């Protein structure tokens, strides 16, 4: 694999404590983990790695099961919309922290979600799924229970998942 610890001219600007890429080795089924230094994100490398994974694991793509009434955020308009059946999207996994920090008022999103918008676009995708915004948070909503019941499908149908594990809340980025 290419060493991406040094910044490259086409690197992004998202900085974190460390970046980890998990992959399977060709000769066996064991997963490999690679930690990247926090000097910058090489989005070209990430795009190439993701595309190679999608090309080499065609059987994973054919196993997609449609999630009914899936909502996603259009990262270009910052609006939540109904996903089409063939929608290609990225998911975000992060630490929610305090509920009040994540209220979406007039299209404002916390830093971790804004950073995920940047990464989603840099990877060449338009749609992002974030549980807090794409699932109706009313506990009496049938949509909420249906989505909770199908979280495995939401994540497995995603092209990739961004994991922001180093923060204590959505405001940390």
How far CA 38 is from CA of 33, 98, 143, in Å, comes to 16, 26, 38
- Is pLDDT at 13 greater than 90 in this prediction? no
**pLDDT tens-digit map of 118-158:** 999 999 999 999 988 998 888 888 888 888 888 888 998 89
- Residue 135, Cβ density class (10 Å: 0-12 exposed, 13-18 middle, ≥19 buried): buried
Stated pTM of the model: 0.70
pLDDT score recorded for residue 130: 94
Q: Please give the residue that has the higher pLDDT: either 155 or 171.
A: 155
């Amino acid at each position: 694999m290419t060493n991406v610890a040094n910044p490259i001219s086409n690197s992004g600007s998202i900085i974190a404590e460390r970046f980890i890429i998990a992959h399977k080795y060709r000769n066996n089924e064991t997963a490999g983990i690679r930690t990247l230094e926090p000097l910058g994100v090489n989005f070209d490398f990430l795009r190439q790695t993701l595309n190679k994974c999608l090309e080499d694991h065609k059987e994973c793509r054919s196993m997609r099961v449609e999630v009914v009434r899936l909502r996603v955020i259009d990262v270009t308009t910052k609006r939540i919309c109904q996903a089409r059946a063939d929608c290609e999207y990225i998911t975000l996994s992060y630490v929610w922290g305090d509920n009040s920090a994540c209220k979406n008022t007039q299209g404002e999103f916390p830093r971790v979600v804004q950073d995920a918008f940047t990464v989603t676009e840099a990877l060449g995708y338009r749609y992002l799924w974030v549980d807090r915004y794409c699932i109706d948070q009313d506990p009496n909503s049938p949509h909420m229970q249906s989505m909770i019941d199908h979280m495995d499908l939401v994540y497995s149908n995603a092209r990739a998942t961004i994991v922001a594990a180093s923060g204590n809340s959505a405001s940390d980025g």
